A and B are shown apart, each in its own frame.
Chain A
C-alpha cells in the first residue's frame, strides 16, 4: 500500500512537470498551428540557465525568473527570425524546429558539458513530509500543488479573463479574430514567448527531481508531444488530465515492468489515439 501511494505521488510529480512543458507546446500549436519540436531543448536551456544562476547566487528562487527570461527571449527570437517558415507548411515547421532542437542540444553540450547535474531543492522545501502514511519529499509535494494551482489559474485565465477570451478566439477562428480587430500576430508572438518562458521555468522546477542533462530535452519533448496529442491540441484541460495520466502511467510502468517501460507508456497512447484521433478533449484535428 505504501509503495502504491509513493508511486502515485511520484506519478503526480512527473505529471505536474509535464503539464508545465505540454501546456505551452499545446497552446502554441492550437493557436498558431506551429509544432515546436525545439520545445524540449528550450526546457533544458531553462534548466541550465537556472543552474548557472543558482550556482552564482545560491538562490533557487532567483533561478526561476532568470530561466524564464532567458527561455522567453530564445522563444521570442525563434518566432521572430523564422516567422515565414513557421507560418508556412507543417512539414517545414517540423523540419526547422527539429533542426533547432539539434542545434540547441549541441550548443548546451558545448557550453555546459555533458555531465548530468542537478539543482538542489530550495532550503525551505529540502525536507520530508508525512502524507497518507508515507514520508515524501516536500519539494515534490510543492510541485504537485503548484501544478494544480497553475492549472486552475490558467483555466481561469483561459475561460474567464478578457485576454484568455482573445487567445481562445484566435485558437477557434483566426480570420474571425482578425475581423474583430484583434492583432493576431501580437497575440501569437506573446503566446510563443510565454510558452517558451514556461518551458524554461519547468526546466528549473524539474531540475531537483530529474536533474539537468543532455538527452533530457528529447525525453521531455517526446512525453510532452504525447501529452499534447492525447489531451487534444489547444485544450488546456486536456493537457492537464493527459499530463497526470502520462506521468502516472510512465511512473508505474517503470516501477512494475522496468524492462518494458517504453512499451507500457506508449501502447496505451497509441490505442487512445486510434480510438480518438482528436485526443481526449480535442476539437482541432492535429494535422
Chain B
C-alpha cells in the first residue's frame, strides 16, 4: 500500500501548483501530467511484460480523434464522446492485440510500428473526414461542476484523473495479473507450465496499456481543444518508449517522471530550436549506454532501506520488489 499512499501524497502536493505557477507553466504541467500518465501505463507493457512497442501512440491518438470527431461531426455530448473515444481505442486494441502477441521481438516491433502508421496514414490521407494534416480544431471541453475552460479548472480535472488512473495502475501492477506479467517477461515456457495462458496475458498487457493511453489521449484533446496527426505519430510512440527506458522498467514512478520531464523538455526546446530529435536521440544513446537501469535504478539505496525497515514489521510481506 506504500505506493498508493505516495501517489495520493504526490497528488496533494501537486494540487498547490495553480497557486505558485503562471498560466503558461500551469498549462505545461497539465500536459506533463498527461504524458507522464501515458508513460506509466506503457510501463505495464514495456517494463513489466517486456514488449517493446513503437505504436502505442495510435491508441492515444485514436481516442482523441474518436472524441473530437464524435463532437464536431456528430454533435455528441463531450462526455459521451470521451467514452466513445476510449471505447474506440479499446475496441481496436482488443481486436489487434491477439494478432500482435502471436509474434515477438523484432516482428512485434515492426507490426506495432506498421499498425501505428496505418492509423497515422488514415488520419493524414482521409482528409475529408479527419481534416488531414490540419487535424480537428475547436473541440469544445465538456461541462463540469467547475469551469473546465479555465486553466486552473482543467488542471484539477487532469490531476484527479491522473491520481485515479495511477492508483488503478498501481493496484493492478501489484495484483496477481500484474505479477503474471513479470512472470511472462521472465520465462513464458515456465508460465505455461504453471497453467498460465501466456498469449492472453500478453494481450491483456497490450490492451490495458492501450486503455490508459486512450484516457490520456482524450484528456489531451480536451486540453488542446484540438487533435492532430502528431498524436498518432511514431515519434510520439518513440518518445513514450524512451520515457519508460529513461524512467526505468517496471518502476511505474520512473516512467511517469520521465514522461512528464520529456514533455517539458520538448516544449522548452521546440520553442527556440529545431533540435528536439537530436536531444531525443542523444537521450536514447546516453540512457542505453550509461544508464541501462533508468532513473529508478539511481535510488536503490532508498528502496533497500525501506525493505529492511519493513522486514520486522510486516510479517506477511515477502516481496523483494514491493512495488
B254 shortest CB reach to chain A, Å: 15
Per-position 1/0 for B102-133, Cβ under 8 A of A? 11111101110111011011100111000000
A85 touches B121 (CB 8 A): no
From residue 212 to 226 of chain A, which have CB atoms closer than 8 A to chain B? 218, 222, 225-226
- Say yes or no: A260 contacts B114, CB within 8 Å: no
A258 on the interface (CB 8 Å rule)? yes
Question: Chain B contacts of A94 at CB under 8 A?
Answer: 52, 109
In the complex, B292 has a CB within 8 A of chain A: yes
Question: In the complex, which residue of chain B has the Cβ closest to the Cβ of A99?
Answer: B284
B10 CB-CB contact with A under 8 Å: no
Q: Which of B50, B127, B289 contacts A96 (CB 8 A)?
A: B289
A229 within 8 A of B: yes
Instruction: Determine if B50 and A91 form an interchain contact, defined as CB atoms under 8 angstroms apart.
Output: yes
Q: Does B154 contact A (CB under 8 A)?
A: no
Are A29 and B106 closer than 8 Å at their CB atoms?
A: yes
Q: Looking across the interface, which residue of chain A has its beta carbon closest to that of B238?
A: A98
A263 near B278: Cβ-Cβ < 8 Å: no
Measured between beta carbons, the chain B residues less than 8 angstroms from A233 are: 106
Q: Which of A229-269 contact B (CB under 8 A)?
A: 229, 233, 258-263, 266-267, 269
- Choose one: A107, A226, A274; the contact of B110 (CB below 8 Å): A226
A contacts with B, residue count (CB < 8 A): 45
Taking CB as reference atom, which chain B residue is nearest A267?
B118
Closest Cβ–Cβ distance, residue B277 to chain A (whole Å) = 4
Residue A109 at the chain B interface, CB threshold 8 Å:
yes
What are 17 sample pairs from A and B whose C-beta atoms fall under 8 A apart? A90-B106, A95-B287, A96-B289, A98-B238, A99-B284, A100-B284, A102-B278, A103-B285, A109-B274, A229-B107, A263-B122, A266-B118, A269-B114, A270-B114, A273-B103, A273-B111, A286-B106
Q: Are B114 and A226 in contact, with the CB atoms below 8 A?
A: yes
A106 and B277: CB pair below 8 A? yes
* Chain B residues, CB < 8 A from A225: 110, 113
Least CB distance, B255 to chain A, in whole angstroms: 14
B111 and A106 contacting across the interface, CB-CB below 8 Å: no
- Are B288 and A96 within 8 A (Cβ)? yes
- Nearest A residue to B126 via CB reads A259
8 Å CB contact of A103 from B99, B115, B245, B281: B281
Interface members, chain B 54-109 (any A CB < 8 Å): 99, 102-107, 109
Segment 279-314 of B: residues with Cβ below 8 Å from A: 280-285, 287-289, 292
- Cα of A107 to Cα of B238 in the assembled complex, Å: 18
Does A287 have its Cβ within 8 Å of any Cβ on chain B? yes
Q: Is the beta-carbon distance between B275 and A262 smaller than 8 angstroms?
A: no
**Bound form: Cα–Cα A266–B118 in Å:** 7
Contacts A92-B292, A95-B284 hold; do A287 and B105 have CB atoms under 8 A apart?
Answer: yes
- Rounded to whole angstroms, the CA-CA distance of A119 and B278 in the bound complex is 26
Residues of B within 8 A of A106 (CB): 274-278, 281
B234 in the interface, Cβ–Cβ < 8 Å? yes
Name A's B-contacting residues (CB within 8 A): 29, 35, 82, 85, 90-92, 94-96, 98-107, 109-110, 218, 222, 225-226, 228-229, 233, 258-263, 266-267, 269-270, 273-274, 277, 285-287
Q: Which residues of A contact B113 (CB under 8 A)?
A: 222, 225
Contact, CB under 8 Å: A82 / B277:
no
A100 to B280 alpha-carbon distance, docked (Å): 10
Q: Which residues of A contact B241 (CB under 8 A)?
A: 95, 98
- Known contacts A35-B106, A225-B110, A273-B107, A107 near B118 by CB under 8 Å: no
Asked if B121 and A261 make an inter-chain contact with CB atoms under 8 angstroms apart, the answer reads: yes
Across the interface, name the chain B residue whose C-beta is closest to A258.
B125
Give the residue among B110, B125, B127, B278 with the most A Cβ atoms within 10 A.
B110
Contact: A99 with B283, CB < 8 Å? yes
A260-B122 in contact given A225-B113, A270-B114, A287-B104 (Cβ < 8 Å) = yes
| Assembled-state Cα–Cα distance A100/B277 (Å) | 10
A185 to chain B, nearest CB (A): 20
By beta carbon, the residue of chain B nearest A90 is B105
Q: Is the CB of B105 within 8 A of A222?
A: no
Most chain A beta carbons < 10 A, residue from B113, B127, B234? B113
